[in-house]
Amino acid sequence: MDKNTPPSHESRHREIVEPIDIEIDQTENTSAISKKQIIRGFLILLTVSLIIVLWFVVSAKTIVVEISPTPDTLELQQGSIAVKLRDRFLAQPGEYQLVAEKEGYYPLQETLRIGMLSSYNVKRTLRKKPGLVSVTVDPPARARVYINRRYVGVTPLSDIALDAGTHTIELQRYRYQPLWSELQVAGAGQQQEFSFAMVPGWATVSLNSKPGKAKVWFNGELYGATPLKAELDAGTHHMELVHPDFAAHIADFVVLPNQALDLGIIELDREPSYLIVKSQPSGAVVYIDEQQRGTTPLTVAALPNVDYRIRLSKPGYRDLSRSARLATGESKTITTGLKPILASVHLEVIPNTATVWLNGKVFGRGDQTLSLTTTNHTIEVKDSGYQPHVLNITPQAGQPIHKKITLALRKSLPANLASSITNSQGQQLRLIEPITFTMGASRREQGRRANEVLRDIKLQRRFYIGTHEVSNEEYARFDPEHSSGSFSGIDLTAARQPVSNISWEQAARYCNWLSKQEDLPLSYREADGGLIANTPLLTGYRLVTEAEWARVARVQADGSLLRYAWGDRYPPVSVNGNYADEQAKQIVGLTIPNVDDGFAGPAPVGSYGSNKFGLYDIGGNVAEWMHDYYTIYSTPRSQVSVDPTGPTSGKHHVVRGASWLRGTLSNTRLAYRDYREKPRVDVGFRIARYAE
């Protein structure tokens, strides 16, 4: 069609549409869609979260935790859902671990079970860790330390773990006074150091003499020559100054702890002065200036130009007083006759042929009327074919006594005695035959003490003696309540250890108890609230007499006297018994050097070899109570003592033998004589009885 030709009606309604390219911005549309989706998703998540939080808040349980002191960290672990809000938690029901920690305290970790209750209140207290304590003493040394009565070691000590609070401490150190105090321990791992100043239990003693170079003996030990300074333990000490050209000076003095004592210059007398006191009858107790010095006849060294007041006392006799003053080198003898206080005793004896013995001497036959002193007497009535009858009486002035004594027929006795017997308690005893020997020690013997006077002894009666010292186990059958106790942390109560910490009277009562078990006559009887020996001694159990002990401990086959249980030289070359040695250095000052017997305290009885009589521990383990009252004998060597049993009265009893607390040259000698009134941790006993 020509372009100039006008279009027709149909053509006017038709248009040819030519295709063209259109570019659409797809990034803009995608971004709009993503934002909508994110917003919608966020709203959904927020809604869900709010629902969950709301659900958690509505359904959660409140847990209030109060911990003292406030911990450094506090958590609920290993459970369901728990949220901490200051001092409390919100948690769903379930099982949790409550964990709290604070420096210096033990961590707290425990299981909490949360149920359906709406709230829980948990209160806990953290436990402090122990403190670390160090202990030292001044002056520095090894002191034994007991905390809350438990032994923990010797100083210096460090890093002892102790709970916070107050603790008691005791310090023990040889030759120092025990110290008690309190420790205030902070705990929580803190380190604290406590230092204590210990006060010496000894003091320095100084003395000189005129002339000089006199040998000085304290308590039987040679310390040197004047002028002298020595450290002595607190207490009473016995001093002897010996110079070859002068009289010995003897004195007792008291040392106070940590207070130096100067005894000054002691002038020795050119010639000794002696006071000799005799009485009729003998055996009277002599008091010089009201100090008991022994029994008559008595010889004591005296100071010249001093007025002495002398009093003699003997039961059944009136006291007698005298005075004396001696010049230098003078020996003065005072002889007195004591006036008896008499009472009448009439004896009706059946059969009338029986012999009446009064205090060991024949008095007559048949009926007797006796005029006796008002003291203890032993009357024994004997006749052939009859059992002897023993009567112990203490008559009173103005109160006559009438006694009827009928003898019982004698039971048959074995002709021969067994060399050893076993008693009702299973204790073995050995038979000892009669002998004559010498007791005591020569003045030349090193370590000799003034009370070891040489005496001639004749033992006529055969006797049995226990092979072992009486043990805790054996003594407990008689007295179940007794305890031997302890010493410086050493237990003394083991069954087979020797019994100790008992008095002489307790030992004597044990002997009487043994006699009753076997229907034997009692060796001891009640008098003035205590026990005294019956005289003469019969065949009941008793303590060993001092003469019997010396016989079995010292006398050898050739009659010579053994100096130590192990031989004649000090120290021993091998272990022979239980003494203060290397084991006891922490508790005893003077010990046997270079010897170790294996026990710091007492050993079980019979732990070492026996002597030639089959007796164990005769020289050591524990020292032993003797039957005898203590005295210093002045009997002339020409007079032989027959079956001596010691004085009839006194205050102290003899103790013989060394022990686990004794280890010096002097006190381990078999001639060493000690005496006691009260119990001691290292004193026990063994039993004996006459065989016939």
CB contact at 8 A, 288 and 309:
yes
> With pLDDT > 70 as the criterion, what percentage of the chain qualifies?
91
The whole-angstrom separation of Cα 548 and Cα 560 is: 16
- Judge if 360 and 332 occupy the same domain: no
- Nearest by Cα to 242 from 234, 254, 251, 229: 251
**Residue 229 belongs to some domain of the structure:** yes
Give the pLDDT band of residue 15 (cuts 50, 70, 90): low
* Per-residue tokens: 277: 């006191």
Give the pLDDT band of residue 1 (cuts 50, 70, 90): very low
- Judge if 430 and 448 occupy the same domain: yes
Top pLDDT among 637 and 656 is at 656
The whole-angstrom separation of Cα 647 and Cα 295 is: 8
**Residue 599 belongs to some domain of the structure:** yes
What percentage of the chain's residues is helix, strand, coil (to nearest 5)? 10, 40, 50
Q: Which of 197, 220, 241 is the last residue of a domain?
A: 197
* pLDDT, mean of residues 126-130: 92
**Residue 39 belongs to some domain of the structure:** no
- 558 CB-contact burial (10 Å; exposed 0-12 / middle 13-18 / buried 19+): exposed
**Residue 41 belongs to some domain of the structure:** no
- Judge if 328 and 370 occupy the same domain: no
* Per-residue tokens: 94: 């379930």
pTM: 0.48
The whole-angstrom separation of Cα 474 and Cα 175 is: 34
CB contact at 8 A, 100 and 124:
yes
- What 3-state class would DSSP assign to 366? coil
The whole-angstrom separation of Cα 466 and Cα 425 is: 12
The whole-angstrom separation of Cα 621 and Cα 615 is: 13
Q: Which of 337, 359, 390 is the last residue of a domain?
A: 337
Per DSSP, what are the bridge partners of residue 350?
A: 406
Per DSSP, what are the bridge partners of residue 368?
A: 347
Domain that holds residue 80: 57-125
Residue 9 has pLDDT above 50, yes or no: no
- Judge if 157 and 302 occupy the same domain: no
* DSSP state for residue 584 in the 8-state scheme: G
* DSSP state for residue 582 in the 8-state scheme: G
The whole-angstrom separation of Cα 504 and Cα 542 is: 11
* DSSP state for residue 562 in the 8-state scheme: -
- Judge if 166 and 244 occupy the same domain: no
Region of residue 78 (left: phi > 0; alpha: psi -120 to 50; beta: else): left
- Measured between alpha carbons, how far apart are the two ends of the chain, in Å? 183
Lowest mean pLDDT among 148-157, 233-242, 276-285, 418-427: 233-242
Top pLDDT among 559 and 145 is at 145
Per DSSP, what are the bridge partners of residue 432?
A: 463
The whole-angstrom separation of Cα 105 and Cα 99 is: 13
Query: Which H or E element spans position 349?
Result: strand 342-350
Between the alpha carbon of residue 148 and those of residues 145, 164, 190, 628, 680, the distances in Å are 10, 13, 20, 43, 25
Q: How far is CA 609 from the centre of its chain?
A: 26
- Nearest by Cα to 302 from 289, 312, 311, 314: 289
DSSP 545-605: PHHHHHHHHHB-TTS-B-SBTTBSSSS-SS--S--SSGGGTTT-SS--TT---S-SSPPPT
CB contact at 8 A, 210 and 265:
yes
- Nearest by Cα to 246 from 275, 221, 266, 223: 266
Residue 319 has pLDDT above 80, yes or no: yes
DSSP 631-670: ------TTSEEES----S--S-EEEES--TT--STTTTST
CB contact at 8 A, 249 and 261:
no
Residue 393 has pLDDT above 80, yes or no: yes
Residue 11 has pLDDT above 50, yes or no: no
**pLDDT tens per residue across span 187-203:** 998 999 999 998 888 89
Give the pLDDT band of residue 413 (cuts 50, 70, 90): very low
Lowest mean pLDDT among 254-268, 296-310, 482-496: 296-310
Lowest mean pLDDT among 80-89, 399-408, 453-462, 613-622: 80-89
What CATH number corresponds to the domain at position 668?
A: 3.90.1580.10
**pLDDT tens per residue across span 255-298:** 888 899 999 999 887 666 789 999 998 889 999 999 888 888 88
**Residue 613 belongs to some domain of the structure:** yes
Between the alpha carbon of residue 102 and those of residues 29, 66, 142, 270, 381, the distances in Å are 61, 14, 38, 83, 90
- 330 CB-contact burial (10 Å; exposed 0-12 / middle 13-18 / buried 19+): middle
CB contact at 8 A, 399 and 575:
no
Write down the pLDDT at residue 220: 75
Give the pLDDT band of residue 114 (cuts 50, 70, 90): confident
Write down the pLDDT at residue 181: 93
Write down the pLDDT at residue 690: 95
Write down the pLDDT at residue 245: 66
The whole-angstrom separation of Cα 593 and Cα 507 is: 33
Write down the pLDDT at residue 204: 94
Write down the pLDDT at residue 116: 83
Residue 59 has pLDDT above 80, yes or no: no
- Judge if 394 and 529 occupy the same domain: no
| Pairing status of strand 261-267 against strand 202-210 | parallel
CB contact at 8 A, 442 and 463:
no
Q: How far is CA 410 from the centre of its chain?
A: 48
* Domains contained in the chain, number: 6
Highest mean pLDDT out of 221-235, 430-444, 462-476: 462-476
CB contact at 8 A, 427 and 466:
yes
**Residue 17 belongs to some domain of the structure:** no
- 284 CB-contact burial (10 Å; exposed 0-12 / middle 13-18 / buried 19+): buried
The whole-angstrom separation of Cα 459 and Cα 644 is: 8
**pLDDT tens per residue across span 19-45:** 655 554 554 555 556 777 777 777 777
**pLDDT tens per residue across span 592-612:** 888 888 898 999 999 999 999
**Residue 42 belongs to some domain of the structure:** no
- Judge if 282 and 259 occupy the same domain: no
Could you tell me how many helices (H) and strands (E) the chain has, helices first?
5, 51
- Judge if 455 and 500 occupy the same domain: yes
Calculate Rg over the CA atoms of the chain.
47
- Judge if 481 and 580 occupy the same domain: yes
- Judge if 484 and 377 occupy the same domain: no
* pLDDT, mean of residues 583-597: 82
What CATH number corresponds to the domain at position 96?
A: 2.60.40
Write down the pLDDT at residue 13: 47
- Judge if 425 and 465 occupy the same domain: yes
* Per-residue tokens: 59: 């359904």
Q: How wide is the angle at C-alpha 617 spanned by C-alphas 597 and 514, nearest 5°?
A: 140
**Residue 650 belongs to some domain of the structure:** yes
Write down the pLDDT at residue 3: 45
Q: How far is CA 485 from the centre of its chain?
A: 5
Give the pLDDT band of residue 645 (cuts 50, 70, 90): very high
Half-sphere exposure of 256 (CA within 13 A, CB side): 4
CB contact at 8 A, 569 and 669:
no
**pLDDT tens per residue across span 343-382:** 999 999 998 889 998 887 888 999 999 999 888 888 888 8
- Judge if 313 and 351 occupy the same domain: no
* pLDDT, mean of residues 566-578: 89
Q: Which of 65, 92, 125 is the last residue of a domain?
A: 125
